[in-house]
A and B are shown apart, each in its own frame.
Chain A
Amino acid sequence: MRRGITATALVATLALAATACGSDDESGGSKSSGELSGTVTWWDTSNVGSEDKVFKKIAEGFEKKHPKVDVKYVNVPFGEAQNKFKNAAQAGSGAPDVIRSEVAWTPEFADLGYLAPLDGTAALKNDGDFLKQAAASTKYKGKTYAVPQVIDSMGIFYNKKMFADAGVEPPAKIADLKTVAEKIKKKTGKTGLYLRGDDSYYFLSFLYGEGGDLVDAEAKTVTVDSAEGVKAFGVVKDLVDSGAAKTDATDGWENMMQSFKNGDVAMMINGPWAVADTLTGKEFTDKANLGISTVPAGSAAQGAPQGGHNLGVYAGSENLDASYAFVEYMTSVESQAQAAGELNLLPTRTSAYSKKEAVDSEIVQFFKPVVETAVERPWIPETGSLFAPLNVEYTKVLTGQTTPEKAAKSTGDSYRKLLKGWK
């Protein structure tokens, strides 16, 4: 008897659960009333301790607009997010509904089938408003796979007081950078520049400065091992060998930020994403002490890489409609203006630049023209893969394990292995 009852109860529960699931799926989408519900998990990759608080606040604002939606904010360290997302997406479990993807990751995720196409969904409202450069990385094979959230580029951050003590001006060329560093060393005893040695993204402006590039996607040619590439490796090696710059092969980000915030170095190459963190340093309790200037030009050109972050929706999300709406909300003019005002981050929507918050931010105003002339990377699925081999060779050059010639050649060889059929 007992058993019979239990079995019936079990069947009933299962049936309930099944119907509950069924109805959940529908309500997870948009019901006829148009009200959104369910949970949206968002992996944010912004810097902990400065940017994350603001983004969490903005994200929670979505819950006020849609009370039935529960936004789960998760901060994933930038350095781990790409692999973590790939692991989860490939396994088919544990992936977030929305991911903040570095621009170079977007085409790769799209190519692997991890992202949902966004054309015609609620995520892409008024997409004509986006800056052309920002929108470029979101397109793959004729479809849009992400929505640009912030755009950025790089410049030289400098300590105005130290510059005044040494009697120098921000360097416009790499040759000036060396003399400036020398004077700073003589007058203040500090090192001129901190150059990150563990991340080759910080090498790109030197590569562009010598007229080089990683690859030429249109001609399907690997260009990193050209004469310009070799020269660029030589430039960074010389900066470190001559003592104008110091570097690290591990913990580069922490060491760079610590050295600059404590006044141990006078300059660093960095982007708007570092501003909020920099201003927490003891040297910058007076915000006006932070100076920003364009990256120094090489022998051929002056150029910094264009970067930024997009928001993509996981193709396996169980709550696509709410996720689309969340992405739209996070990339709206208001959200972008708020990020510009509180964090000095650059909006991706043209109209956000006329908002008061963006107009008032000196840093946004400084970087706007920099972004417009920044060097775009080719938006091919392999863009994100180009850094792993380059990182190894770049660190090897800086730590004296290889020559610029060998480093360039070895990077080029890895690229040709990666990009089948390229010259």
Chain B
Amino acid sequence: MAVHTSQSVAKAAGDDVARGRSRGTGKSAPPSKLRRALSVHWYAWTMVAPVVLVIGVIIGYPLVRGIWLSLTDANERNVARSIGVNEMPATYEFVGLDNYADALTGNQFLGTLGWTLVWTVSCVTITFCLGMALANILNRRIVGRSAYRMALILPWAIPGFVSVFAWRFLYNENNGLLNKILGGAGIDGIPWLNDPTWAKFSVIAVNVWLGVPFMMVALLGGLQSIPAEQYEAAEMDGATAWQRFRHVTLPGLRPVSTTVVLLSTIWTFNMFPVIFLLTRGGPGEATQILVTQAYKFSFEISPRDFAQSSTWGVLILVLLMLFAMVYRRVLRTQGDNW
């Protein structure tokens, strides 16, 4: 032990001396920042280059192209395509910000945005509250804790589309299990996916079901990192269970909960599969959120409207970036730094 320590100290000291002296002498002017960065980090840059390149190609190029398309009137008919002997050149034109003006002044974008916000806020709130409650339950020593944990994580383990299709069968108005159960209890069947209000309720319920495991696991991890001494101290001071939750648990979970709320908001805002596979945005367009509508423009209507679809895509990106910025700023003023 002792030998070890002394050795390393001596080595460190020697290092220090060598660094200070030998480098300091014989240099007339300090090299530029860039060159120094390059000379020190060239190896790192070389290693990272392929990744940067790949990211540039698979994210940067589509992004730039999407922004470009949103400034044109491109659709299925006027983009370039070559099919066998048919060679059709692109004939779409630059239209400036017309698409954005159309989207922001029309009813469709703002209407869809309204429901998207309701959907995001309610999904995240309910998921967070449920996840928090379940995490607190599972954080106690209860019998069969690991079995409960397994069962509660299950929705997360099933591929998303499988569970959404399962729900679709459950929701079926005439043959679905939910209405059969209600019928057994003498209650009239509910038009789960055929009534606009019930459809909204149904998609939120499925998304909550899918999202709770993630919240629960993340918050459970957070709970377990809160030192038990804090609870003991609070108990000694005579704090009630609610006070302990309010003043020990919640502040202790802060770093975890801020992150999961941000992530979950972004995911829910763009939660394509639940809406698309459950209702296709219907009935009518009652449950259409921004991403499913953007998809509809470029894949479901004809002629496919690539320009409008990209415009919505860019607007979604801008909205989420704004949200992340504001959220970060709010947290920073509250004393969190990340």
Q: A residues near B, CB below 8 A? A: 82-83, 86-87, 89-90, 92, 108, 111-114, 116, 197-198, 246-251, 255, 258-259, 264, 314-317, 384-385, 388, 392-393, 395-396, 398-402
Contact = CB atoms under 8 A, between A and B. Distances in A.
A324 to B, nearest CB: 13
Contacts of A197: 194, 283
Interface in B51-89: 76-77, 79, 81-86, 88
B84 A108 contact: no
Nearest to A386: B302
B175 A249 contact: no
A92 B196 CA distance: 39
Interface stretch (B11-19, B136-144, B166-174, B314-322): B166-174
Contacts of A264: 174
Contact of B283 (A108, A258, A396): A396
A392 B175 contact: no
B168 A250 contact: yes
B45 interface: no
B285 interface: yes
B284 interface: yes
Contacts of B193: 248-250
B196 A401 contact: yes
B172 A255 contact: yes
B303 interface: yes
A196 to B, nearest CB: 12
Nearest to A264: B174
Contacts of B86: 113, 315-316
Interface of B: 76-77, 79, 81-86, 88, 168, 172-175, 191, 193-196, 199, 278-280, 282-286, 299-304
Most central of B77, B194, B199 by chain A CB within 10 Å: B194
A80 to B, nearest CB: 11
Contact of B84 (A116, A247, A255, A388): A116
Nearest to B303: A385
B280 to A, nearest CB: 7
A316 B83 contact: yes
A400 B197 CA distance: 11
B166 to A, nearest CB: 14
A158 B193 CA distance: 27
A255 B169 CA distance: 11
A113 B83 contact: yes
Contacts of B174: 246, 248, 255, 258-259, 264
A236 to B, nearest CB: 14
A255 B175 contact: yes
* Main secondary structure on B side of the interface with A: loop
B83 A250 contact: no
Nearest to B199: A249
Given A112-B81, A392-B284, A395-B282, 13 more contacts: A83-B299, A113-B88, A116-B84, A249-B194, A250-B193, A250-B282, A251-B172, A255-B173, A385-B301, A388-B301, A388-B302, A398-B283, A399-B195
A399 B85 CA distance: 47
Contacts of A90: 76, 79, 81
B283 A399 contact: yes
Nearest to B82: A92
A421 to B, nearest CB: 15
18 contacts: A89-B83, A90-B79, A113-B88, A114-B83, A247-B194, A249-B199, A249-B283, A250-B283, A255-B175, A259-B174, A315-B85, A316-B86, A385-B302, A392-B285, A395-B283, A399-B283, A401-B283, A401-B286
Contacts of B173: 248, 255
B306 to A, nearest CB: 10
| A-B pairs with lowest CB-CB distance, top 6 | A249-B283, A316-B84, A396-B284, A315-B84, A316-B83, A113-B86
Contact of B302 (A384, A393, A398, A399): A384
B174 to A, nearest CB: 6
A197 B82 CA distance: 38
B275 to A, nearest CB: 12
A116 B86 CA distance: 9
B228 to A, nearest CB: 50
Nearest to B279: A250
A112 B168 CA distance: 36
Nearest to B172: A251
Nearest to A194: B174
Nearest to B281: A392
A158 B196 CA distance: 31
A90 B299 CA distance: 12
Contacts of A315: 83-86
A108 B304 CA distance: 12
A333 B284 CA distance: 43
A250 B168 CA distance: 9
Contacts of A111: 77
A170 B36 CA distance: 90
Contacts of A92: 81-83
Contacts of A112: 76-77, 81, 303
B62 to A, nearest CB: 15
Given A392-B285, A399-B196, A113 B302 contact: no
- Most chain A CB within 10 A, of B81, B191, B285, B299, is at B81
B175 A108 contact: no
| Interface-centre pick from B84, B172, B280, B301 (highest chain A CB count, 10 A) | B84
Which residue, of A251, A258, A315, A396, has the highest number of chain B Cβ atoms within 10 A?
A: A251
B220 to A, nearest CB: 36
A264 B286 CA distance: 28
Contacts of A251: 168, 172
Contacts of A116: 84
Contacts of B283: 197, 249-250, 395-396, 398-399, 401
A385 B175 CA distance: 32
Contact of B284 (A89, A317, A385, A393): A393
Contact of A399 (B175, B194, B278, B299): B194
Contacts of B282: 198, 249-250, 392, 395
Nearest to A191: B174
Contacts of B301: 385, 388
B229 to A, nearest CB: 54
Which of A197, A314, A395 neighbours the largest number of chain B CB atoms within 10 Å of its CB? A395
Contacts of B278: 250
A399 B83 contact: no
B285 A388 contact: no
A395 B121 CA distance: 27
A10 B195 CA distance: 65
Contacts of B284: 249, 392-393, 395-396, 399, 401-402
